[in-house]
C-alpha cells in the first residue's frame, strides 16, 4: 500500500486534484497569510517570488491584500544584460505587478542595469535585503519557491562532486551570491539567494506540480544530502507549506486523498 505523506519536515503538505485547483488554493493561502501579517500581526512584509510556474500564480492573489506594507522582489535572479531571461522582467509582465505599482508597494528591481556587472547586481540585491531588514526589524519575510526537475531550487545547483564548493557558495555569510553554474544549467549566470538567507525566511511556500516531477520528488524525500538535491533544504525549514497536485504525488509513488476539499 502506498504511503500517505502528511507533511514535509515542519512544512504542511497540501494536495489538490489538479494544477488548476492547487494554483487557486496556493494563491488563496498566500492571500490569507498576507492579510494575517497585515491585519493581525501588524507587520510589514518582504514578499519574494521565485520564477517559473510560481510566478504565474501571482495574478490569482487577491487585490485586497496588496498595499504599501509590502515590499516585493524576486527570490532568485539571472544575470542577463538583455533581460530576456530575467525573472524580474517576467514579474513586470504580470497583472500582480501592475496592481503592486498601483497599490503603492515598494519594488526591488533586480533586472540587469546598463553597464552593471554580475557582482554589482549581487551586491545591490544584498544591500536591498539587508536594508529592508534594518528598517523593519519586526517585519516578516515571505517567499515562494519551486523545485526543478533536476532538484535545484532558487537558482541553487547541486554540487555532489564538490560539497566544499557548495558550502562555500551557499552557506557562508552572504544572503545573495553571483556565480556561474557551468554546464549544470543553460542559464549559467545566476544572482541568487543562499541557504543562509533562506533560513531567515519566516514563511515559505513551495509550489510544484506535474507528474514529470514525481521521480525527482521521490528521490528528494529519500535522502538528506542537499549538495546532491538542493531542494532537500525544504525538509529543514521551520514554517510554511508545500502545495502540489495528485499527479505529482501519484507519479512519486505516494497515496493521494480519495476526496479533495
Asked if the model's pLDDT at residue 234 lies above 60, the reply is yes
Residue 242 CB neighbour total at 10 angstroms: 23
Give the list of residues 6+ apart from residue 79 with CB closer than 8 angstroms, or none.
112, 118, 121, 178, 189, 190, 191
Q: Tell me, what CATH number does 85's domain have?
A: 3.40.50.1360
> Within 13 A of 66's CA, how many CA atoms are on the CB side?
21
pLDDT of residue 27: 97
Rounded average pLDDT over 37-61: 94
Measured over the CA atoms of residue 50, residue 237, residue 71 and residue 33, the dihedral's sign is: positive
Residue 178 lies in a domain: yes
Asked if the model's pLDDT at residue 259 lies above 80, the reply is no
Residue 115 exposed, middle or buried by CB count within 10 Å (0-12, 13-18, 19+): exposed
Q: For residues 127 and 118, is the Cβ–Cβ distance under 8 A?
A: no
Can you spell out the DSSP letters for the chain? ------EETTEEEEEESSHHHHHHHHHHHHHHHHHIIIIIS---EEEEE-STHHHHHGGGS-GGG-STTEEEEESEEE--TT-SS-HHHHHHTSHHHHHHHHTT-EE---SPPTT--HHHHHHHHHHHHHHHHHH-TT-EEEEEE---TTS-BTTB---TT-HHHHHHHHSSS-SEEEEE-GGG-SS-EEEEE-HHHHTT-SEEEEE---GGGHHHHHHHHT---TTT-GGGGGGG-SSEEEEEEHHHHHHTT----SS--
pLDDT of residue 53: 81
Q: For residues 62 and 36, is the Cβ–Cβ distance under 8 A?
A: no
Residue 184 lies in a domain: yes
β-partners of residue 46 are 71, 141
Distance (Å, whole) CA 252 – CA 23? 20
pLDDT of residue 261: 62
Rounded average pLDDT over 234-244: 95
User: Which tens digit of pLDDT belongs to each residue from 160-187?
Assistant: 999 999 999 999 999 999 999 999 999 9
Residue 78 lies in a domain: yes
Place of cell 519575510: 141
φ, ψ for residue 129, nearest 5 deg: -70, -45
Containing domain of residue 99, as a range?
Answer: 15-251
Average pLDDT along the chain: 95
Residue 128 lies in a domain: yes
Q: pTM above the 0.85 mark?
A: yes
pLDDT of residue 1: 55
Residue 20 CB neighbour total at 10 angstroms: 11
Residue 258 lies in a domain: no
Residue 210 lies in a domain: yes
Residue 260 lies in a domain: no
Residue 24 lies in a domain: yes
Structural domain count of the chain: 1
Amino acid at each position: 500500500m502506498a504511503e500517505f505523506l502528511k507533511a514535509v519536515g515542519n512544512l504542511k503538505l497540501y494536495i489538490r486534484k489538479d494544477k488548476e485547483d492547487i494554483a487557486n488554493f496556493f494563491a488563496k493561502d498566500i492571500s490569507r497569510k498576507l492579510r494575517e501579517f497585515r491585519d493581525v500581526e501588524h507587520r510589514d512584509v518582504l514578499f519574494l517570488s521565485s520564477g517559473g510556474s510560481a510566478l504565474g500564480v501571482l495574478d490569482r492573489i487577491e487585490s485586497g491584500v496588496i498595499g504599501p506594507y509590502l515590499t516585493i522582489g524576486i527570490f532568485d535572479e539571472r544575470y542577463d544584460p538583455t533581460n530576456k531571461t530575467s525573472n524580474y522582467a517576467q514579474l513586470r509582465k504580470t497583472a500582480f505587478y501592475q496592481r503592486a505599482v498601483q497599490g503603492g508597494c515598494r519594488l526591488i528591481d533586480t533586472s540587469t542595469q546598463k553597464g552593471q556587472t554580475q557582482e554589482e547586481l549581487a551586491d545591490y540585491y544584498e544591500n536591498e535585503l539587508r536594508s529592508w531588514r534594518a528598517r523593519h526589524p519586526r517585519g516578516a519575510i515571505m517567499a515562494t519557491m519551486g523545485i526543478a526537475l533536476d532538484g535545484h531550487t532558487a537558482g541553487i545547483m547541486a554540487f555532489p562532486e564538490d560539497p566544499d564548493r557548495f558550502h562555500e557558495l551557499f552557506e557562508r555569510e552572504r544572503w545573495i551570491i553571483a556565480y556561474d553554474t557551468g554546464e549544470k544549467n543553460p542559464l549559467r549566470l545566476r544572482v541568487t539567494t543562499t541557504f543562509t538567507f533562506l533560513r531567515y525566511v519566516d514563511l515559505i511556500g513551495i509550489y510544484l506540480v506535474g507528474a514529470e516531477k514525481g521521480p525527482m520528488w521521490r528521490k528528494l524525500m529519500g535522502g538528506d544530502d542537499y549538495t546532491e538535491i538542493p531542494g532537500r533544504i525544504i525538509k529543514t525549514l521551520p514554517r510554511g507549506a508545500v502545495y502540489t497536485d495528485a499527479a505529482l504525488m501519484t507519479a512519486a509513488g505516494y497515496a493521494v486523498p480519495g476526496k479533495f476539499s
